[in-house]
Amino acid sequence: MSMHDVNRPICIIGLGLIGGSLLRDLEYRDQEVFGYNRSTSAARSAIKQGYDVSDDLDTVLRRAEERGALIVVAVPMHAVGEILDRIVELAPSCGITDVVSVKTHVLDMIRERGLESRYVGGHPMAGTSESGWENSRRDLFHRAAWAITFDYAQELDARGERVPQSWIDVFTDVTKMAKLTSAEVVPVRVEAHDGAVARVSHLPHVFAEVLAVVGDNGGILAQSLSAGSFKDSTRVASTDPDLVRQMLEPNAPALVDALDEALALLQETREKLASAHPDVSELTDAGFRARTRLEARSGARKESVSPVKISSRPVIRLHVGAPRWVAQLRQAESLGGRIDVF
Amino acid sequence: MSMHDVNRPICIIGLGLIGGSLLRDLEYRDQEVFGYNRSTSAARSAIKQGYDVSDDLDTVLRRAEERGALIVVAVPMHAVGEILDRIVELAPSCGITDVVSVKTHVLDMIRERGLESRYVGGHPMAGTSESGWENSRRDLFHRAAWAITFDYAQELDARGERVPQSWIDVFTDVTKMAKLTSAEVVPVRVEAHDGAVARVSHLPHVFAEVLAVVGDNGGILAQSLSAGSFKDSTRVASTDPDLVRQMLEPNAPALVDALDEALALLQETREKLASAHPDVSELTDAGFRARTRLEARSGARKESVSPVKISSRPVIRLHVGAPRWVAQLRQAESLGGRIDVF
């Protein structure tokens, strides 16, 4: 076990695209990991591939409790409450994280059950339009942002109270787990997270669905004439529609805000196009500048010629639990920075 | 010269991404081709690479006239009128095509100058977010739809008049030229073309600009958390904003129609999200079905395991100029089908 390993076994509940890919990465890195999948056939397929997987939730959770595992909740939003109830009953002392794309709603469920002191929320910003164990793969999270929430520590810090060591240990282990997948850990509070992903993930999903429908309304001629711009901009519309609902609906308040911003811009553009002298230069200039900034700031730098890509996210080195460490988390959040813990 | 070669030299006016890539393809296929670029440095670069290129428009057009070339107008929309004026003066007997993304406006300019009988509009549905000669490359049009307009033939046909052989020859040569680039030729009238591209190309550009702006409004945290869905859906916002304007503004009427459809869907989705029980299942189901149909119908089939990809566009074999050939063009248009001429 190296210094990068997580100091306890990891138990993944739900082995779809995200949970399954995490299981593969952790196993590959020799991290002790086991998991549960509701689907018997998917569980069997995973066992055949040599993974420590079961379709019996209670047994898996009891084992997590016995081994003091860190539990990763990796089921769709609608199933999270039920899983948390089982954890309360069968794994009452385990640390908990999750990989669900909307964090406010999960934190509400955590609070309802009094689990805040052993919960650190997570959300890896990676995925494909496919889903399920059969599409999971190693290296899905490579260089992706892995958002990790710290609302509990922030609340205690604001009241001048000390963050308990047990929560610090969960935070440290979730961070290490994410790093084992080569993701970049970005600390963020749930409200800031949900507002940001409404803009950069959930709104793009809504737009992709709408574009697909409007394109399809043009019939087979429009489909035949569609090229790269249409395919790219509608790609995520091929995601399982139920999974898309599980992202959009729980984040409705933040998504409505983002959508209202977008609607104002679209309405303005519509009026300009409908005028006697159409001029959309304001939109095209603003969009171009925004996209240029995005390229400069997100993930690995494209222009790097070195085979070792350099992340453009600033790095904050953090001594977890040391004085002012929560202030450092806030600073990292404000910069979209990644953290290194030691 | 094989049966696939065009029976006259090809003269390309404007060697940006599209014109430059066409020049490279045609030269590679041993088609006689020469061209003009306004930029002296880009023209020099092309000459150094062995291409027959000049930055002197008048000389190039006089040579086109002497050689009976087919002229391809490959400049941005705002420069088309000026180029057509020079063609009227210096190349009064050449056949003309173009590669501009909006066809109604070009056809208006053609009609103003009385050039209908020697004009066949074109629009290759290919591109990248880059522009200029330096980004042009071979095989840009491989398997892309290359829309070719036939309004002139349709009008004569509707009046029971014969389409002149000279126009038929231009139509045949434009078709052959497109096929030399491995594109798939889709016949379409200008109004149907502009309506379709408003849906599948221009609206995606507007959406990409808006998404880039709304994402950017989330600051560097949102940029840091953005992943594949955001990058794909904003990719075309990195296109030169002036080139985007040259596409959107001349197609304003059709784009407003597509935008109004999209706005109605977005507004409905916004109300559903803002309700007490957010439910966007109608949108996600419709988007998923639309996207699935698109995948089945556009371009090469993804699921094909054969290295020789099969186009999913139906093929209409056409004896150009034979009885009912214009009716066959209308049929191909209604199916988004590609044509083979002989």
Give the integer Cα–Cα distance in Å for B201 and B138. Answer: 22
- pLDDT of A124 reads 96
B80 and B213 belong to one structural domain: no
pLDDT of the residue at A128? 72
Average of per-residue pLDDT across B37-49 = 96
Kindly state the DSSP code that residue B314 receives in the 8-state scheme.
-
CA–CA dist B181, B315 (Å, integer)? 17
Residues 6+ apart with CB under 8 A from B142: B181, B182, B183
What pLDDT score was predicted for residue B89? 98
The yes-or-no verdict on residue B332 having pLDDT over 90 is: yes
User: Is residue B173 domain-shared with residue B201, that is, in the same domain?
Assistant: no
Q: Is residue B4 part of a domain?
A: no
Alpha helices per DSSP H over chain A? 17-28, 40-48, 57-67, 77-90, 103-112, 151-158, 165-180, 190-197, 203-217, 219-225, 228-234, 241-248, 252-274, 281-297, 325-335
Percent of chain B at pLDDT > 70 equals: 94
Lowest mean pLDDT, pick from A187-191, B87-91, B333-337: B333-337
Question: Domain with B114 in it: what CATH number?
Answer: 3.40.50.720
Residue B341: what pLDDT? 85
B147, B229: one domain: no
Q: Which of A126, A265, A336 sits opposite B224 (nearest CB)?
A: A336
Question: So what's the ipTM on this one?
Answer: 0.91
Which pLDDT band, with edges at 50, 70 and 90, does B307 fall under?
very low
The answer to whether residues A173 and A205 belong to one domain is no
With respect to residue A243, please indicate whether it lies within any of the assigned structural domains.
Answer: yes
| Contacting residues of A for B287, CB less than 8 Å apart | 208-210, 212-213, 234, 237, 241
Partner-chain contact B218 A200, CB within 8 Å: yes
* Whether residue B1 has pLDDT greater than 60: no
A45 within domain boundaries: yes
Greatest CA span in chain B, whole angstroms? 73
Quick check: is B5 in a domain? no
Q: What six digits make up the tokens of A264? A: 């104002």
pLDDT for res A310: 67
Residue A306 sits at φ, ψ, to 5 deg, of: -70, 145
pLDDT band at B296 (very low <50, low <70, confident <90, very high): confident
Mean pLDDT value across residues B301-311: 52
Give the pLDDT score at A309.
59
- A323 in the same domain as A274: no
| Ranges of chain A with pLDDT below 70 | 1-4, 129, 297-310
Identify the pLDDT of residue A1.
44
Tokens 């080195």 correspond to A317
CB-based contact A261 B216, cutoff 8 Å? no
Do A23 and A98 fall within a single domain? yes
* A224·B297 Cβ contact <8 A: yes
The boundaries of the domain holding residue B132 are 10-188+312-341
Q: Mutating which of B194, B201, B291, B335 best tests the A interface, going by the most A Cβ atoms within 10 A?
A: B291
The confidence score (pLDDT) of residue A238 equals 92
A140 and A240 in a single domain? The answer is: no
What share of chain B in percent tops pLDDT 90? 86
- Please indicate, yes or no, whether residues B48 and B163 belong to a single structural domain of this protein: yes
Q: What is the mean pLDDT of residues B298-321?
A: 68
Rounded to an integer, what distance in angstroms lies between the CA atom of residue A207 and that of residue A268? 17
* A306 occurs within a structural domain: no
Q: Quick one: average pLDDT of B66-70? A: 98
Q: Which of A17, A191, A217, A224 to substitute to test the interface with B, most B CBs within 10 Å?
A: A224
CB contact under 8 A, A231 and B298: yes
Does residue A276 sit within a domain? yes
A303 in any annotated domain? no
Q: Which residues contact B136 (CB under 8 A, 6 or more apart)?
A: B15, B16, B17, B18, B19, B20, B21, B23, B24
For residue B2, what pLDDT band results from cuts at 50, 70 and 90?
low
- Degrees (nearest 5) of the Cα angle A230, A236, A240? 135
Same domain, A157 and A61: yes
Residue of A nearest to B275 (CA): A252
B259 contacts on A by Cβ (under 8 Å)? 266, 269-270, 273
Average pLDDT score, chain B: 93
Distance between CA atoms of A35 and A43, rounded to whole angstroms? 9
Q: Are residues A142 and A184 in the same domain?
A: yes
Number of domains chain B is built from = 2
Q: Would you say residue B306 has pLDDT above 70?
A: no
Contact A269, B210 (CB under 8 A): yes
pLDDT at position A74:
97
Of A204, A216, A218, the CB nearest to B230: A204
Task: Report the pLDDT value the prediction gives residue A298, as an integer from 0 to 100.
Answer: 54
Contacts of A203 (CB under 8 A, 6+ apart): A255, A258, A259, A262, B211, B214, B215
Is the pLDDT score of B14 beyond 90? yes
Mean pLDDT of B90-98: 98
Residue of A nearest to B144 (CA): A227
Residues of A in contact with B225 (CB under 8 A): 125, 145, 147, 186, 188, 193, 196-197, 200-201, 336
Asked if B307 and B289 count as a contact pair (C-beta separation under 8 A), the reply is no
- Chain B residue numbers with beta carbons less than 8 Å from the beta carbon of A295 are 238
CA nearest to B52, candidates B26, B75, B73, B74: B26
Same structural domain, A53 and A135: yes
CB pairs under 8 A between A and B: 381
CA A279 to chain B, closest CA, distance in angstroms equals: 7
Whether A21 and A158 map to the same domain: the answer is: yes
- Residue A254 in domain: yes
The domain that holds A290 is classified in CATH as 1.10.3660.10
Is A213 close to B283, i.e. CB distance below 8 A? yes
pLDDT at B303 over 70: no
Residue A30 DSSP one-character state: T
- Separation of alpha carbons B83 and B74, rounded Å: 10
With CB atoms and an 8 Å threshold, state whether B313 touches A224: yes
